[in-house]
Amino acid sequence: MDLEIKGFHETSFLDWDGKIVSVVYLPLCNLRCPFCHNSGLVEAPQSYSTIPKEKIFAFLDDHLDFIDGVCITGGEPTLHKDKGLFEFAREIKNRGLLVKIDSNGTDPDCLQKLIDENLIDYVAMDIKGPINERYSNICRTKVDIEKIKKSIGLIMSRKIHYEFRTTVVPTLLSFEDVVGVARSIAGAEKYALQQFKAENCWEPEMLKIKPYSKEELELMAKAAQAYVSNTILRGV
């Protein structure tokens, strides 16, 4: 495996609701979201030390009675489909652990292979905004909307647990936008509205933005629940 791992959080209670997991961070992303908090993994992954997989597996082997699984995040993990992603997930599964992947949904074929080969147990897909021509503007790069739609359909149709999530940035998304996203995933298992935090953002201008209030986000969540009953708030 030539998978490069640029971050490892041994124990997290936040990255998978109801689970205790280790978190692995992979570099690179094909999007350029201005509110991204992990831009260093995208812009300058070489500035991070590569963590030996042996170190990660040694920790997991020593904590099999405590850790429920591993969250593979980034960056965008599916960019590493030819660099050892599948083998890495298989090594985790072979230890009897669960695997969660965080993805932007731009590579539905990779997600389908991960699901078909039983290499993941949970998918958290970020939906950046209304699934229309504005999507590329929000992501600051050209996005194939049909692939986003295909990933949503794939995730919702497969027998795997999942969630969709949206970071609610005031200058990018309105109340109507959030409800529109919920409408596009009507009947989904879970939809998480994530509070935007004006810190460590890719674009400095984002640091000046005042986040939505808790009350405003609660109104959005209530409206979204008309389409996804299990709509929750995070980070408020």
pLDDT tens figures, 165-190: 999 999 999 999 999 999 999 999 99
User: Exposed, middle or buried, 113 (CB in 10 Å: 0-12/13-18/19+)?
Assistant: middle
Confidence of residue 129 (pLDDT cuts 50, 70, 90): very high
**Residue 149 neighbours by CB under 8 Å, 6+ apart:** 131
Rounded to whole angstroms, how far apart are CA atoms 36 and 34? 6
pLDDT digits (tens, 9 = 90+) for 47-102: 899 999 999 999 999 999 999 999 999 999 999 999 999 999 999 999 999 999 99
Hey, what domains does the chain have and what are their CATH numbers?
7-234 (3.20.20.70)
Rounded to whole angstroms, how far apart are CA atoms 25 and 43? 14
Rounded to whole angstroms, how far apart are CA atoms 188 and 206? 30
Q: Is this prediction's pTM over 0.75?
A: yes
User: Exposed, middle or buried, 224 (CB in 10 Å: 0-12/13-18/19+)?
Assistant: buried
